[in-house]
Structure 1
């Protein structure tokens, strides 16, 4: 039997998210309804899905409409078109990430994973029998890992380098020049790169015209790359459970497709049609504009909160995505992040995610904040946190 470690962040959310008044732990851009999605479209008369269509399994690897729209987005601003057949759809990015590991690594393989990050990205390879090393980013370096340390982690049996860009929980990005250095290392050793890009393209604090603006890993010219994504985070449609796997290398897609047959016959026809509608040229730009503007507005609110409470907290301001990693301390000593989050929820109804429980024991005092929720809720919730810090921080245990 495979040993399964507790998936700490999902266990925490499962336990608490439906009992909170201010869910500032949610990592999706504020979710929208189908009616709101239609309002964002330039073609409001177009059907989102065809209710007369028989409910068969549908397209096994993913609907043509959805894969065509995804291929168009991955091909934009590049001279190399991504064929739609190089994309597989999945029930959410969580299965996309699982399938990449399940298809490509096992006992005797070595995996390097960008860290801190979503637990499944390094835990699933472990469960599959691979040896895993963490490529650690630190706040002292603005949550950017060292390329020299990556080189030192390479082994003869290194099969896969996993990155998360933009990164959960810090909101940091691996910029274009660093991505090129990662590719150079991988190409030298014939290593596959898996880039979890579920928070792409929600860039709120770096300009697309910046020479260091990070493209998708699929746009960097190295064929042995895989990108995973979803409709949940940047596209505000977590409820339709649509994710995907894309690669420039058709042999990687075929390998993953064979494994996918054991877990997924096809993805819901209705979900895929909603996703295709959202990613259509008539809708996607308005949808992303809505979410990026929400992120820009709310990051300013969060920054004011950090400044107001600068004696009790610190951060590295995120550049992208929906999350920030904030460290709380008392008289210079980090608080117990679990005790902090539990007491905060009990006294104010505000839900954060404790970093030491959900992202690694070394992240003492850290909490993950999901700030791209509805602005009024974020503002009210953070005001409650300020009151808690002023009145109740002395009641919170310090980290051991």
Structure 2
């Protein structure tokens, strides 16, 4: 039997998200309905879904329309277009990541994983028998990655380098120059790079004109790159359960497709159609404009809260994505973040995610919580107001961790 660690963040979300009064742990941009998509689209005449279509399994790898649309998005600022056949549609990014890891990694392999990150990206390779080294980003330097450390982590059997850009849970980015260095190192050793880009392209605090602005890993001219993404985070459509794997290396896609046959035969045709409509040129720009503006508005609200509570919390302000990693302390000592989150939920209905439980290995990230800030502004404002009251009346009850 495969030994898989409990998936802490998903178990925490399952425990609390349906009962939370103010869910400010949510990682998706405020969700939209099919009617909302229609309003956002410049094309008011075409139906989102053709209800006359028979609901067969549909195209096993995803519709030509959806794969072609995604291929075009990944072909921006690249010398050669990405073929539609180099995109595989999956049931969310979580399946995309799992299929990729299941297909490429096994006993005897070594994997290097950007950290902190979504637990799946390092726990699944471990469960498959691979050795995993955590490439730790440095909070004091804005969650920066050290390229010299990456060089020191590489072994003769290193099969895969996994990065998460933008990063969950910090909202940090890996800047373009660092991505180029990673590619140079991987190319020299013929190592595959997997970039989980599920929070791309929600860049709210960095401009495309900034020299640090990161392109997709598929844009850097190295064949052995593979990316995963979904409709959930930046596109507000988690309920469609549509994700994808895309690569410059067709053989990597074929390997993942062969494994996929043993899991989900196809993504539902209705889900595929909704995703295709949302990503079409007539809709995607308005949808992203809506979500980026929401992110910019809400991060200012969250920043104002943090600045007014510097006596208890601090952060590295996120540059992209929907989440922030905030550290709470009492007189310089980190709070027990699990107890803090439990007390908040019980007393106020405010939901956070505890960092040490859901993103930490060993004693890492004591006192940290992950906050999702791109839900409806009213939810964030009311949640922070409830948190403000707790900070004044109940924070003294939160235990601190003795160093």
Structure 1 length-normalised TM: 0.99
* Cross-structure match for 1:186: 186
User: Which shifted more, 136-145 or 101-110?
Assistant: 136-145
Distance, in Å, in 2 between the alignment partners of 1:231 and 1:212 is 25
Deviation for aligned residue 1:98: 0.3
Aligned match for 1:388, one of 367, 387, 390: 390
Distance, in Å, in 2 between the alignment partners of 1:351 and 1:138 is 26
User: Which shifted more, 34-43 or 250-259?
Assistant: 250-259
What SS does structure 1 have at the residue aligned with 2:262? coil
* Cross-structure match for 1:54: 54
Deviation for aligned residue 1:77: 2.5
Distance, in Å, in 2 between the alignment partners of 1:96 and 1:253 is 11
* Cross-structure match for 2:368: 366
What SS does structure 1 have at the residue aligned with 2:17? helix
* Cross-structure match for 1:291: 291
Deviation for aligned residue 1:394: 1.1
Distance, in Å, in 2 between the alignment partners of 1:399 and 1:63 is 52
Q: Residues 337 and 399 of structure 1 are in contact (CA less than 8 Å); yes or no, is this contact kept in structure 2?
A: no
Q: Residues 232 and 238 of structure 1 are in contact (CA less than 8 Å); yes or no, is this contact kept in structure 2?
A: yes
What SS does structure 1 have at the residue aligned with 2:226? strand
Aligned positions of 1:58-97 closer than 5 A: 58-97=58-97
* Cross-structure match for 1:379: 381
Distance, in Å, in 2 between the alignment partners of 1:4 and 1:186 is 28
User: Which shifted more, 78-87 or 108-117?
Assistant: 78-87
Deviation for aligned residue 1:347: 1.1
Deviations 1:188-210 (A, max 9, x none): 11100000000000000000111
Distance, in Å, in 2 between the alignment partners of 1:6 and 1:386 is 32
Aligned positions of 1:1-400 closer than 5 A: 1-360=1-360, 361-400=363-402
User: Which shifted more, 2-11 or 71-80?
Assistant: 71-80
Deviations 1:90-118 (A, max 9, x none): 00000000011000010000000000000
What SS does structure 2 have at the residue aligned with 1:108? coil
Distance, in Å, in 2 between the alignment partners of 1:12 and 1:337 is 13
User: Which shifted more, 341-350 or 21-30?
Assistant: 341-350
Distance, in Å, in 1 between the alignment partners of 2:14 and 2:127 is 22
Distance, in Å, in 2 between the alignment partners of 1:223 and 1:242 is 25
What SS does structure 1 have at the residue aligned with 2:298? helix
Q: Residues 32 and 236 of structure 1 are in contact (CA less than 8 Å); yes or no, is this contact kept in structure 2?
A: yes
Deviation for aligned residue 1:211: 2.0
Distance, in Å, in 1 between the alignment partners of 2:126 and 2:137 is 20
Deviation for aligned residue 1:264: 2.0
Distance, in Å, in 1 between the alignment partners of 2:59 and 2:69 is 15
Aligned residues: 400
Deviation for aligned residue 1:42: 0.2
Deviation for aligned residue 1:399: 2.2
Deviation for aligned residue 1:4: 1.7
What SS does structure 1 have at the residue aligned with 2:297? helix
Over the aligned positions, Cα root-mean-square deviation in angstroms equals: 0.7
Structure 2 length-normalised TM: 0.98
List gaps (5 residues or longer) in structure 2.
Answer: none
Distance, in Å, in 2 between the alignment partners of 1:326 and 1:168 is 12
Distance, in Å, in 2 between the alignment partners of 1:254 and 1:4 is 26
Distance, in Å, in 2 between the alignment partners of 1:148 and 1:86 is 32
Distance, in Å, in 2 between the alignment partners of 1:146 and 1:264 is 38
Distance, in Å, in 1 between the alignment partners of 2:261 and 2:108 is 24
Deviations 1:117-144 (A, max 9, x none): 0000000001110000100012112111
What SS does structure 1 have at the residue aligned with 2:126? helix
Deviations 1:142-161 (A, max 9, x none): 11121111111000000000
Deviation for aligned residue 1:78: 2.1
Distance, in Å, in 2 between the alignment partners of 1:79 and 1:179 is 17
Q: Residues 327 and 366 of structure 1 are in contact (CA less than 8 Å); yes or no, is this contact kept in structure 2?
A: yes
Distance, in Å, in 1 between the alignment partners of 2:328 and 2:210 is 32
Distance, in Å, in 2 between the alignment partners of 1:338 and 1:212 is 35
Distance, in Å, in 2 between the alignment partners of 1:357 and 1:115 is 14
Distance, in Å, in 1 between the alignment partners of 2:67 and 2:99 is 18
List gaps (5 residues or longer) in structure 1.
Answer: none
